[in-house]
Structures are given as C-alpha cells and as structure tokens.
Amino acid sequence: MKFGVITFPGSNCDADMIYVLESLFNQKVERLWHKDTDLKGVDFVILPGGFSYGDYLRSGAIANYSPIMTEVVKHAEKGGYVMGICNGFQILCESKLLPGTLLHNNNQKFICKNIHLKADNNASIVNAHIDTKQALKIPIAHGEGRYFASEETIAELNANNQIIFRYCDENGDITEESNPNGSLENIAGVCNAGKNVFGMMPHPERAADAELGNVDGALIFESILGLIKA
C-alpha cells in the first residue's frame, strides 16, 4: 500500500499525517504538491487538514482548482481510495466527490478541543473494525465544520450507510450537547456511495501516538490497513 499526502498552500497537518503513516504504521508515503499533475502511483490519497489558500472565499473552494485535484477526481472515479481530514473534507465536498457541504460552526467561532465520536456502522474500510458502541476521543480544530445537506441527501446517506461517524458523548450517546458545531444529525464524517472516498472533520492523526496520551485515532488507521494492506 502506497499513500500520497497532498500539501496545499496553507496545509498544516500534512507532516503529522506523514509521520503517523510512516513512523507509526510503517507505510510508504509519497509527498504530493498541489501543482503536481501526477499522483506518482499511490493507492490511497489523503488531503490533510489546514487552511488551504487561507480559507479565502470559502474553505476548500480555491484548493478545488489546484492542478492535482484533476488527478484526485480521476483516481476516485476509477475506484481509488481518497480521504480528506478537516480542510481535506471541505475540499472533497467542494469537488463534489462527497455530498453536502461544511458551513460555519453554529456558534460562529473556531473550535479546537477534544470531542467524542462513534462509528455509525461498519460498512466502509474506515469504520469496519471499530465497535459501534465505542466512543473515540479525537481532536477537532475548525471554524467551518457544520455538516449540511438536503433532506433527500441525508435520507440517502442514512439508507446507504454513508455516514461513517457521528459526534457523541463520552458514553457513546448521540446528544445535542455532544454536537460541537451544529452538524445535521451529529454527522462527523461521510463517504461516497462507492465507499472509496471518505471525509471527516475530527483529526485522527492527532490521536494516534502514545506520546500524546491518546491513541483512539489509531483505530481508524488500523481499520483501513486491516482491510486494504497490500
């Protein structure tokens, strides 16, 4: 398995993601630049968190027009794996590889703290090996993380098991109080209908190293690698 991590102007979690994949999970990682027009043979593309292009216009909107996104879309359309974390999730929604959009948090403030989430199902490689009753403590850091989509789209996501994670409390209960940003139905992450493109606002790469005192995020990487390791 060969991962590719894209760096856009303003990315700030690319190095974190590379460290986790290379040093903690012993994976091959290709460093990709937003102006590249070749994915260099990677199997799994990751769009990391950050503030691409300073979040001007709208988070992820300008990055969607970076040259490499043409190749990312082609890769996804062929069934290749793509995952976006935080700003990467926003970019994937802008590119229409994922349904819905991310709006300003309902309190209109940037939120940076640990939250809890739980796998909504075991239907994708991202959550297949995660106990749906287990609450994972994962950090968030975003100003535009409120997931929104039409009623029809939300119904489709639920019917097709495309909601991969929902915000919950430490006991695994999905409540209004445990929703940090006002996302519809406490949605923290979704995937496409083909279940090869994934997006989530929380940062599992920031909760994967024992040195940080939290390895709940490692379960997400373990789930992925447990199913697609080559």
Residues acting as catalytic residues: 86, 203, 205
Q: Alpha-carbon distance 68 to 23, whole Å?
A: 26
Among candidates 126, 136, 112, 96, which has minimal Cα distance to 51? 112
**Could you tell me which residues are beta bridge partners of residue 137?**
116
Q: Alpha-carbon distance 215 to 128, whole Å?
A: 17
DSSP string spanning 152-190? HHHHHHHHTT-EEEEEE-TTS---STT-SS--GGGEEEE
* Secondary structure (H, E, C), 51-68: CHHHHCCCCCCCHHHCHH
Whether the CB-CB separation of 178 and 115 falls below 8 Å is answered with: yes
Whether the CB-CB separation of 119 and 164 falls below 8 Å is answered with: yes
